[in-house]
Amino acid sequence: MAVLLLAEVTDGALALDATAKAVTAAQALGDVTVLAAGSSAAAAGAEAAKIDGVAKVMVAEDASLGHRLAEPTAALIAGLASDYSHIVAPATTDAKNILPRVAALLDVMVLSDVSAVVDADTFERPIYAGNAIQVVKSSDAKKVITFRTAGFDAAGAGAEAPVETISAAENPGLSEWIEDKVAESDRPELTSAGVVVSGGRGVGSEEDFAIIEKLADKLGAAVGASRAAVDSGFAPNDWQVGQTGKVVAPELYIAVGISGAIQHLAGMKDSKIIVAINKDEEAPIFQVADFGLVADLFEAVPALTEKLS
């Protein structure tokens, strides 16, 4: 059986961590062919060819595939589908946009956010904000899957898979890209960071979020936020951790001023070590924290930052 894996490519660059984790998940299903698609994708394809476990790389470069608009990208993948039993991708916003469309074009269901592979037809996925794990067996001829990357280790590098160039599908011309507003960040990417420091409503203001960022920088961590912090304008949307934001599973997750609502826990409760700093000792976050500190965050966080130097 063969697997087609849509690589995560942004502005011509491969998101190595997400793609390599999806390769790990996909290897159990068969030979993995990686598809790198974009207006420029050759460099990303060459990098993907080095991931251990990749049997082949296909590069599709075309203006219509820039920013991977769902319609032309889904048409490309559906056109390639006949040779593959599984069509997979890391569960990023790009893949969540494209893969359900591919599945419907092929008249099959999609398996979203798969967290474990049982066998070629059977998969585990979290439901109800991660409060239950469903084991499902697909009766479809082809499986279309997005993998929850937080649950898999990244495959190593060192391989040298052959790279082949293919052409794009005809552009259905239904949509156009206008602009990107990219949040600038020098910090590690949230979903692949080893340490994440997150702030919630308790931080109180955008200015005070600086104390979260200072602690994060001290630890070389990525910065996350709860929905309350994002909605209040303390932090940008793409920092949101939770059921509707990003799902992370770092070695260390420090939750500051976050009560621990179900929707937030959905995005971080698989972290190795969870630290909670909150002045409310009844906050639900303490039920999942390995180490909890009941304290005023405005005193505790600067002190912690200081002590870690």
Partner 1 sequence: MKVLVPVKRVIDYNVKVRVKADSSGVDLANVKMSMNPFDEIAVEEAIRLKEKGTASEVVAVSIGVKQAQETLRTALAMGADRAILINAADDVHTDIEPLAVAKLLAKVVEEEQPGLVLCGKQAIDNDMNATGQMLSALLGWSQATFASEVEIEGERAKVTREVDGGLQTVSVNLPSIISVDLRLNEPRYASLPNIMKAKKKPLDEKTPADYGVDVSPRLTVVETKEPSERAAGIKVGSVDELVEKLKEAGAV
Annotated binding site for FAD: 201, 226-227, 240-244, 257-264, 278
Among 1, 28, 63, 131, contact with partner 1 (rule: CB under 8 A): 131
- Cβ contact 87:109 at 8 Å: no
CA-closest candidate to residue 263, choices 300, 230, 296: 230
Binding span for partner 1 by CB under 8 A among 46-54, 57-65, 66-74, 151-159: 66-74
Spatial CA neighbour of 191 closest among 138, 150, 240: 150
Q: How far apart are CA 248 and CA 150, in angstroms?
A: 6
Three-class DSSP category at 35: strand
Q: Which residue in the block uniquely carries the two structure tokens 């990107």? A: 180
Task: Say whether 304 sits in a helix, a strand or coil.
Answer: helix
Q: What are the binding residues?
A: 201, 226-227, 240-244, 257-264, 278
Residues 243-272, one symbol each (x = binds partner 1 by CB under 8 A, - = not), give xx-x----xx---------xx-----x--x
- How many other C-beta atoms lie within 10 A of the C-beta of residue 308? 9
Given 153, 164, 290, 296, the residue binding partner 1 (CB under 8 A): 290
Q: Who contacts 217 (Cβ-Cβ below 8 Å, separation ≥6)?
A: 187
Q: By CB under 8 A, is residue 140 in contact with partner 1?
A: yes
* Rg of the chain over all Cα atoms, to the nearest angstrom: 20
Q: Does 224 bind partner 1 (CB under 8 A)?
A: no
Which residue's CB is nearer to partner 1, number 49 or number 92?
A: 92
Asked whether position 10 contacts partner 1 by CB under 8 A, the answer is yes
Is the distance from CB of 219 to CB of 197 less than 8 angstroms?
yes
Pairwise CA distance, residues 55 & 31, whole Å? 6
Binding string, residues 174-213; x marks residues near partner 1 by CB under 8 A: xxxxxxxxxx-------x----------------------
Supply the minimum distance, in Å, between the C-beta of residue 86 and partner 1.
14
Answer yes or no whether residue 296 interacts with partner 1 by CB under 8 A.
no
Decide: is 97 part of the binding site for partner 1 (CB under 8 A): yes
Figure out which of the listed residues 50, 56, 96, 201 binds partner 1, where binding follows CB under 8 A: 96
Among 53, 79, 294, 298, interactor with partner 1 by CB under 8 A? 294
SS3 92: coil
Asked if 280 interacts with partner 1 (CB under 8 A), we say no
φ, ψ at 98 (rounded to 5°): -90, -45
The stretch near partner 1 (CB under 8 A) out of 56-64, 158-166, 205-213, 295-303 is 295-303
CA dihedral 184, 190, 194, 199 (to 10 degrees): 100
Scanning 49-57, 153-161, 204-212, 280-288 for contacts with partner 1 by CB under 8 A, the matching segment is: 280-288
At its nearest, how many Å lie between partner 1 and the CB of residue 162? 29
Separation in Å, CA 251 to CA 116, 208, 270, 292: 19, 25, 9, 16
Tell me: does residue 61 bind partner 1 (CB under 8 A): no
Binding test (CB under 8 A) with partner 1, winner from 43, 81, 104, 157: 104
Contacts with partner 1 by CB under 8 A: the residue count is: 90
- Looking at this protein, which amino acid is placed at residue 17? D
Residue in 19, 27, 73, 138 binding partner 1, rule: CB under 8 A: 138
Residue whose CB is less far from partner 1, 43 or 288: 288
Q: Distance (Å, rounded) from C-alpha 144 to C-alpha 223?
A: 32
CB 297 to partner 1: min, Å = 11
Structural tokens at position 171: 């552009």
